[in-house]
Structures are given as C-alpha cells and as structure tokens.
Structure 1
C-alpha cells in the first residue's frame, strides 16, 4: 500500500501503439494546486496549519524540501519526489536551495546516514514556516555548516569520534568553539511546544535526533494524531531497479509495465480544486 502523504499514481498511459514506436508516456496524479515553497512566499502560515503540515510530513517522511511538498486547498500535503536530501554536495553542484535543508552529515559526507537525515529536513522546513524565512541559508557547503553551528554549537569530542573520515575529524576539531543557542530565545515569539519539537530535530548528532515515530508523540501534534493511520509501508523491492540492463531492455520493461498498469479510481476529494 501507499502512504497517504506520498503522491499517488492514478494512471499511466502511452499513445504509442508498439514497442518500436514507444517514446513518450504520461503519469496521472492528483491535482494539488501548489507547493509549500510557493505557499510560504505568498503568506505566513497560521499555527494550526504549521502543526498539521509538519504532522503530515512526519507521517510520510522521506527526503524533503519545500518545493517537493504539494498542498491542496484543504491543507493536505503530498510528497512529490525523493532523493535530493541525501546527496552529497559534489552531486548537487549549484543546487543551492536543496543545501539549506540537508543534514550536516550529508553536506560533508561525514558518516553513514540514518533516517534522521530526514528529521533534520523537517526541522529546517518547520523553522522556515515559523519564521517566514530559511533558518540556515548557506552560500556554499562550508558556509552552510557555519550557519548551522551558529545555532547547534560546534560538535562535541564524542561526536567527532564517530566521524568516518580522518579529514572530517581533523576539520571538526579545528573549528573555534561555539556554544549551542537556546532555541527558545531564537524563536522567542513561537509556541514553546513548537520550539520543543525543533530542539529534538535540529541536533548535530544524528543519533540524538528524535525519530519520526517519537516526534509524532510530542504534545505539539496531539490534536491531529490518528495513531491507527500512522502506518509503516511495506519495504520497496529495489532489486529490479538495481539490475544492469540495456536501454532496449529497460524500454521493453517500461512498455510492459504501462500496458499492465491497472488504473486507480480517484477519490473525488483528491482531485478537487
């Protein structure tokens, strides 16, 4: 089954009648209206909207930035695509916006990633919704790290010891000592329960960050919680995706998948403006 916070696929079709002529195909998805990035530029979000949107992000957590989060008029959120938040800076040259939402361990390829790389992204997006501007707006990957550490403080020696690279450990140890900021002073006009969520998310050490399941149980989300709907999806089988096949084989496989796809009857609520 699909998580309700992940964009669905109603249908996929092609007008091409044979494999030889197969060139284009079309994906039919719910109409959402806008994305969170655009919405934040148009208006400051109310407290209840922020609560509801972050709650939905945590329910359908993957790699996130505001432009990847579609929203309809009922404030329902869908995640559009994946894979950006976990890529190292060398893979994302010039893609400045994504850097602002990436966890520090990803920016410098410090260590093996855990699912809390996504929690960091949620924390950055939540902070932006509360402040009306990005929290960590670095001009390059080192400046991004500097901006982060102005808030989180510099890494502890215990954290530095976990880094897989000798160069990374040396770099971290060379940084001037910066104390962690009290987020309640940074977000002085914000609901203290919202700040308590950020304090659990925006931690330099990924092992110390709250998990999605733990975050959903924080008091800030109590009024929206529906625990029976907080489902864990079946693990996706990547075995076919990772096989080494020729372009002709992938084309045949794609054409077959399209021809055998069973369309989903859309919920009227999903397609409403």
Structure 2
C-alpha cells in the first residue's frame, strides 16, 4: 500500500529534543536553565516560516539545515499529544471532498480537507479533528474484495498499534464500524506528514548531512522492528515519510512478516512478495536457504544509494534484468556466496552468466564521502550472512554524529501468536479475515 502513503502537511513532533537540539542546530534544552529554553524558542521562531517543501512535487525549495549531534543529554520532559478519542456510536455522516467523488464516512468529528494520496485499495485524505483542531491523515481502506488485501490490512493495523516509536508511523484512532454486517471500509486516523523520501529525491539534491540523518532515522526505526523479530519487506523511498522538521517515519506494514517463519511460511514468502523490485535483496530472487532481517538492510542500502545521486541503483525492468544490474555492480559471487544459494535453478542461471568484476562504489559515487561509500558497500553485500546488521549500521562511523545507544530503543518482543492468522498453515477466507479485522478495531 506504498502508493497510499500519507503525503501532506506536518502537524506535530513528539520529541522536542530532536527538533530543538538537532534540526535547529542549538544546544539541548535543559529544564535547569530557563534562559537557554527561551533562546531555543526564539531560534525556532526565526525559522518557523522556512518551508521544508512546497506543496507541489516540482518544488525546488531547499531543505532546512540538517540536525547536529547533541551537546549534552536533554532532560526536558517530553510533551504528550492528546489522541482523538474513539467514536463508538456516532451517527454516520458522509464527508465529500468538493471536487472529488470520494465518500469518507468518518463521523462529525472530522472535516475532510483534501485527497492527498491513493493506491490499489485505499485513499488518503488530510482532515481536521474538530474537537482538538488537530490536522490528521485519514486512510480509507477497502480491502474486502480480496483476501490478500485483508491480510495486509490486518498486519498493518496490528503492527502499527504494537510499535510506539518516533520513527514508525502511528495510528491515532480507528473509526469503529457500527456492526460487522455494515463493515465495508476501514478508516485509520494517522499523523499527517508533509512528504515522502521519493518526492524529496526527485525534486532536489540532498547534502551529505541530510543523507546521514535520514538513513540514521531509517535504521533507528528498523532497529525497533528487528528487535521485535519483524521484517518490513517493503522499505523504499515512498515508504519513508517526512515532515518539515526532517523527522522520518517508516510506514506501510502490509507486507511485514515475522522473522521466525516456519517452512510453510517461508514457502509462501514469495507468493505475496510484490514489493518494488528495485529494492529487493538478491536472496529473495535467488531463493537462499532462509530470509532474514538482512533483506531490510539491503533495501536501506538501495535507498542510501538513491539519496547520494538521485537515481535508483538497480532499476530492473524484470526479474532477469534486476539480477543483471546487481551482478554488474557487485560482480560474480564468490564460491562461498554461490553455494549459499539453495536453488539449483538460480545457481545454473548465475553459472551461465559471463564473469563480472566488481565495480567500486567509490567510482560510482565520486562525490560521496568515503564513510558513506563504506556503509553503502556493507549494506549491499551479496551474501546476507555477511551483510551488516541494523545495529552494526547504527554504530558505523558515517552515523557517528547521531548514534546514541541510549536513544535507540528496542521494541518489546511479539507474542508467538501475534501472526497466528498469517502462519501459512491454513488459508483464511475473506469473511474470516474481515471478522478478525473487525475484532481488532473494536478491541
């Protein structure tokens, strides 16, 4: 559901440390020094009219200054955000955007502003939660025509509700349907973000400092996922949402799965794998013995490469072209890497290809820093067992300005039954999945 990402205007930031200490390049705010708090607020006010992006995709408005390493630990209490309350028994009202024929049945507490994105089975509108005057994004999903859409919707809701992390999109509210019989659409109320990484890369060049901060936040959010043994499986620029403070949030968990897949689950892993080919790890296409967290790290490497020069590194037209592009740069796999591929068919395919010499990433990205190139190479290692992990990437010197092990929290482990509906042992019907989604929303 990557095309249904929330691409609009920013509303709030939950971590003032990152806004004040990093985005505005000031010292951390201390509750013991009110004069410094005032100075920070004044500094922020001076920049409050600086727009991160124009609302038009073709904008060339420059980015605000990237954040810097904090000078000391911030002790300022974190502000809390009042979430819109659940609306249990409100009369259904139809909100229709003036020039678009799209009905949003979300009740009287929300006023629709505009359609800001749409995909295969959903539409996203910006809106205002009238009681709090908070701007939000409302994602309308119509998943019940296909069991695969139902599965993705259920994963999305369950996983986003589970994680509470600054670099993972959150659900503020879910509009509750009046009954199971009348349940035809899902409405997720989420944070309103200004744009996504895909649009940023397409409209302007990123400085090395921006690349550092965006990749750091991506890895920070990914660490939370991986610590809970969850694979995202669809990391790409359009699934990295951004706001005017350069805050980044990972979205779209419709393809996410447990890292502990049984044999049946692993067999069905590729059946649903329709993620964007350009960011897909080679082991997924070549059928290695197992799929691990390393597939997400490969995607991060592809995203970093795209940030560095504004172009996708492996824009394959199809399966064979994708592999060709990867091997053109990484070169022919070593014997160890070759025999790590479990599929004989894939081995035969690679064996039939002419020998290819590895191309140095430093030559491909001559304007990138040496540290950026080193991290890129470690993320894009052919063999997943030799690829850098998310935790190791966070400790990489390229991200030293931001790395803080005390501020990179893990997530609580998932209960083994969390993915009970998705274990591959039995295929649930659309009606069964619909009931599971209904129960999840009403819980």
Sort the TM-score into its range (normalised by shorter chain): 0.7 to 0.9
Query: 2:208 touches 2:368 (CA, 8 Å); kept in 1?
Result: no
2:329 corresponds to 1:167 = no
> Which has the higher Rg, Structure 1 or Structure 2?
2
What TM-score results when the alignment is normalised by the length of structure 1?
A: 0.85
5 Å-filtered alignment, 1:123-138, equals 123-138=301-316
- Distance in 1, Cα, partners of 2:322 & 2:237: 18
C-alpha displacement at 1:24, in angstroms? Answer: 2.5
Match of 2:245 in 1: 74
CA distance in 2, matches of 1:100, 1:132: 14
Looking at structure 2, the residues matched to 205 and 110 of structure 1 have their Cα atoms a distance apart, in angstroms, of 9
Judging changes above 3 Å, is the alpha-carbon distance between structure 1 residues 85 and 169 closer, same or farther for their aligned structure 2 residues? farther
DSSP 3-state at the match of 1:10 = strand
The answer to whether the Cα contact below 8 Å between 1:128 and 1:135 also exists between their aligned partners in 2 is yes
2:412, 2:213 → 1: CA distance? 25
Query: Deviations for 1:221-264, whole angstroms, at most 9, x for unmatched residues?
Result: 1111221121221233212454765544444443343233xxxx
Mapping of 1:197-216 within 5 angstroms? 197-216=375-394
Distance 1:162 1:250, change over 3 A: closer
Structure 1 distance, partners of 2:428, 2:326, is 42
1:54 equivalent in structure 2: 215
Q: Is the 8 A contact 2:421 2:428 kept in 1?
A: no
More strand by share: 2
Report 1:202-241 matches (<5 A).
202-236=380-414, 237-241=418-422
Please give the per-residue CA displacement for 1:130-175, whole angstroms capped at 9, x wherever unaligned.
0111111111111111111111111111111111122222222222
Relative contact order (alpha carbons < 8 A, sep ≥ 6): 1 or 2 greater? Answer: 1
Q: State the number of aligned residues.
A: 255
Q: How far 1:186 moved relative to its partner?
A: 1.6
Indicate conservation of the 8 Å contact 2:174/2:188, yes or no.
yes
| Inter-partner Cα distance in structure 2 for 1:35 and 1:77 | 9
Counterpart in the other structure of 2:164: 2
C-alpha distance in 1, partners of 2:288/2:422? 27
Contact 1:102 1:121 survives alignment (8 Å): yes
Match of 2:119 in 1: none
How far 1:198 moved relative to its partner?
A: 0.7
> Which TM-score applies when normalising by structure 2?
0.54
Asked whether the equivalents of residues 200 and 209 of structure 1 are also in contact (C-alpha less than 8 Å), the reply is yes
- Gapped runs of 5+ residues in structure 2? 1-162, 223-231, 258-268
Q: Distance in 1 between matches of 2:438 and 2:383?
A: 45
2:280 to 99, 102, 108: 102
Aligned pair partner of 1:20 in 181, 184, 204: 181
Q: Does the Cα contact within 8 Å between 1:102 and 1:117 map onto a contact in 2? A: yes
Contact preservation (8 Å) 1:88, 1:106: yes
Give, in angstroms, the shift of residue 69 of structure 1.
1.1
Let me know the Cα RMSD of the aligned residues. 2.3
Secondary structure of 1:20's counterpart equals coil
Alignment deviations for residues 94-134 of structure 1 (CA, whole Å, 9 cap, x no partner): x7xx1111111112334421111111110111001001111
Does 101-110 or 47-56 show the bigger shift?
101-110
Correspondence for 1:259: 442
1:9-32: CA deviation from partner (whole Å, max 9, x where unpaired): 110013x42333232231111001
Write the distance in 2 (CA, Å) between the matches of 1:155 and 1:193. Answer: 24
Higher helix share: 1
CA–CA separation in structure 2 for the residues paired with 1:91 and 1:194: 29
Checking the alignment, whether the CA contact within 8 Å between 1:88 and 1:109 is kept in structure 2 is no
| Cα offsets for 1:35-94 (capped at 9, x unmatched) | 1111111111121111011011111223301111111111111111136599649853xx
Where does residue 368 of structure 2 map in the other structure? 190
* CA distance in 1: counterparts of 2:298 and 2:287, whole angstroms: 15
Q: 1:231 to 1:24 in 2, by over 3 A?
A: same
